[in-house]
């Protein structure tokens, strides 16, 4: 049955290979079941319910990708957007987490629409390459700022805005050690390096009496406090339109880039370098976003960690289905997730930041009309504590510099329209 449904022989793989690939992918991304509840709890969301929503959304999204699109791509709530959700939209702008979930829901519906009508290609192709890399790098810097703060390495200062934290704090020292451990294990290509780092810091913290131990396994908590709690009406507020656009754009670039990147490494692109069944893959991704908002978590997206599974032979949707099953099995580890302190997940945030910031190397630094808007985009995100503002400043700078420099041929109508919308937003809203 598995052979017929997933076409294993056609893809040169076996059930055993797919299962091992699924386990490998799960280990590399399982950190999200600890990190996501920790981040979203900062927005006032119930940590236990978010844990359940994270596991179920990841399981549902991965299963849809596996069964419907037949790709070895796993999905889960995305890093970066969860931090934007909690720290910028809720804590920064003052919206409720229910309204923020409504914004995620609307962005998911928009994603479904553009996937159905093939508008995605036009949007993605119109966005300058430099801004795509800059958005990714800016999100990485945003994550790094949050990770350093949670680790206690940086702290607020009324005179200098930021200053060095207390490096004598046991939690800070453990966070530093956790980051070094993750980087060293990743360099040695140890599967599950991030989750090993998180759990190592947590265990030491519990043994040292820094963190109370809540247990390891228990029946899954109730998802009721977050289930169907999104406030769509509040999300349609004019102040949240930029937030919806930000969720939509980052989801669009992230999903497309991850799908193409992972499938390219796995040799799943066709002779023209295109991804067969791309529409199905994007619909699976967008459907997972909507499902995640209904369950009570920030945007769900395809994970670049899926490349770990394809590197050991995963070639079909069976890999993603195995990941889905393992996320469901993880539901019983809610007490352990509640035990993990913020300084234990901080190293994971900083490591993911390292991976995302390297996109800056792809920018054409010899062309100032490309480099300057990219830098504005990337540095505005952490300095304004808002991914949305970074994207807005980037588009405005790009359109303005191209226009004044006489490089209008490089300026697509889509980018110009988006830039004008952002100018109008800052001027009148």
pLDDT tens figures, 123-180: 666 778 788 788 778 878 887 888 898 899 998 888 888 899 999 999 999 999 999 9
Going by pLDDT thresholds of 50, 70 and 90, the confidence category of residue 29 is confident
Which is it for strands 75-77 and 161-164: parallel, antiparallel or unpaired?
A: unpaired
Distance CA 2, CA 8 (A): 8
Contacts with 20 (C-beta within 8 Å, 6 or more apart), sequence order: 312, 313
Task: Match 């949670």 to its residue by tokens.
Answer: 150
End-to-end alpha-carbon separation of the chain, Å?
56
240-272: pLDDT as tens digits: 777 887 778 777 766 766 776 677 666 776 666
To which residue do tokens 């949240």 refer? 240
Structure tokens at 328: 């469901």
The alpha-carbon radius of gyration of the chain (Å, integer) is 21
Summarised one tens digit per residue, pLDDT across range 32-76 is 888 899 889 988 999 889 999 999 999 999 999 999 988 888 999
Residues 6+ apart with CB under 8 A from 8: 2, 14, 15, 18, 316, 318
Mean pLDDT for the stretch of residues 366-389: 88
Q: What is the mean pLDDT of the chain?
A: 84
103 within 8 A of 290, measured Cβ to Cβ: no
What are the CA-CA distances from residue 409 to residues 275, 341, 367, 413 (Å)?
Answer: 29, 51, 14, 10
DSSP state letter for 67:
I
pLDDT of residue 199: 87
Is there a contact between 415 and 129 (Cβ–Cβ < 8 Å)?
Answer: no
Ranked by mean pLDDT, the top range of 79-83, 250-254, 398-402 is: 398-402
| DSSP assignments along 88-150, one per residue | IIITTT---HHHHHHHHHHHHHHHHHHHHTT-HHHHHHHS-HHHHHHHHHHHHHHHHHHHHHH
pLDDT, tens only, 302-335: 887 777 677 677 888 889 999 999 899 888 887 8
pLDDT at 269: 65
Candidate from 322-331, 357-366, 398-407 with smallest mean pLDDT:
357-366
Q: 195-248 pLDDT, tens per residue?
A: 888 889 989 999 999 988 878 777 888 889 998 888 888 777 756 777 887 778
Angle at 358 between CA 93 and CA 270, to 5 degrees: 105
DSSP 12-46: T--HHHHHHHHHHHHHHHTTHHHHHHHHHHTTT--
Burial per residue of 30-61, b for 16 or more beta-carbon CB atoms within 10 angstroms, e otherwise: bbbbbbbbbbbbbbebbbbbbbbbbbbbbbbb
Phi and psi at 230, nearest 5°, equal -65, 145
128 vs 110: CA distance, rounded Å: 21
Numbers of helices and strands, H then E, in the chain:
20, 4
pLDDT at 277: 76
* Sole residue written with tokens 């937030």: 243
CA distance 303 to 180: 23
C-beta of residue 273 within 8 angstroms of C-beta of residue 62: no
- What confidence category does residue 120 fall into, taking pLDDT thresholds of 50, 70 and 90? low
- Total residue length of the chain: 429
**Domain that includes residue 239, residue range:** 2-428
HSE-CB at 243 with a 13 A cutoff on CA atoms is 34
pLDDT band (50, 70, 90) for residue 403: very high
Whole-number pLDDT of residue 136: 75
Dump the DSSP string for 164-192.
E--TT-HHHHHHHHHHHHHHHHHHTT-TT
- Residue 205 has what pLDDT? 93
Total domains in the chain come to 1
Q: Residue 279 is inside which H or E element, if any?
A: helix 278-295
Average pLDDT in the 66-91 region?
86
């Amino acid at each position: 049955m598995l052979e017929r449904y997933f076409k294993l022989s056609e893809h040169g793989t076996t059930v055993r290979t797919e299962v091992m690939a699924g386990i490998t992918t799960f280990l590399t991304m399982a950190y999200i079941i600890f990190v996501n509840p920790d981040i979203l709890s900062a927005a006032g969301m119930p940590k236990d319910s978010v844990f359940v929503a994270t596991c179920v959304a990841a399981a549902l999204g991965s299963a849809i990708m596996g069964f419907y699109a037949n790709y070895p791509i796993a999905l889960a709530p995305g890093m970066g957007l969860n931090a934007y959700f909690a720290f910028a939209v809720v804590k920064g702008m003052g919206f409720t987490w229910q309204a923020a979930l409504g914004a995620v829901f609307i962005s998911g519906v928009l994603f479904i629409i553009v996937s159905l009508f093939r508008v995605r290609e036009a949007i993605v192709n119109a966005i300058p390459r430099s801004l795509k890399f800059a958005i990714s790098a800016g999100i990485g810097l945003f994550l790094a700022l949050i990770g350093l703060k949670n680790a206690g390495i940086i702290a607020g200062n009324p005179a200098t805005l930021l200053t060095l934290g207390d490096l004598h704090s046991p939690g800070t020292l453990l966070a530093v050690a956790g980051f070094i451990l993750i980087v060293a294990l990743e360099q040695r290509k140890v599967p599950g390096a991030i989750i090993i780092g998180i759990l190592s810091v947590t265990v030491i913290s519990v043994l040292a009496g820094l963190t109370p131990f809540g247990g390891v396994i228990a029946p899954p908590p109730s998802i009721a406090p977050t289930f169907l709690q999104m406030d769509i009406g509040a999300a349609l507020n004019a102040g949240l339109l930029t937030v919806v656009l930000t969720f939509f754009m980052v989801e669009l670039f992230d999903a497309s880039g991850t799908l193409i990147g992972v499938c390219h490494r796995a040799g799943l692109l066709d002779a023209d370098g295109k991804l067969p069944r791309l529409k199905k893959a994007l619909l699976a991704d967008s459907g997972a976003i909507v499902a995640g908002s209904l369950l009570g978590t920030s945007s769900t997206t395809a994970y670049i960690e899926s490349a770990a599974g394809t590197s050991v032979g995963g070639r079909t949707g069976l890999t993603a289905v195995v990941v889905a099953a393992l996320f469901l099995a993880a539901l019983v580890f809610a007490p352990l997730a509640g035990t993990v302190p913020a300084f234990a997940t901080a190293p994971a945030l900083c490591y993911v930041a390292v991976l995302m910031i390297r996109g800056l190397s792809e920018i054409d630094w010899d062309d100032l009309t490309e480099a300057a808007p990219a830098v504005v985009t990337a540095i505005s995100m952490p300095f304004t504590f808002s991914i949305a503002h970074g994207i807005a400043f980037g588009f405005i700078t790009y359109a303005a510099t191209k226009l004044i420099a006489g490089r209008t041929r490089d300026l697509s109508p889509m980018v110009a329209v988006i830039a004008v919308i952002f100018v109008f937003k800052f001027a009148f809203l």
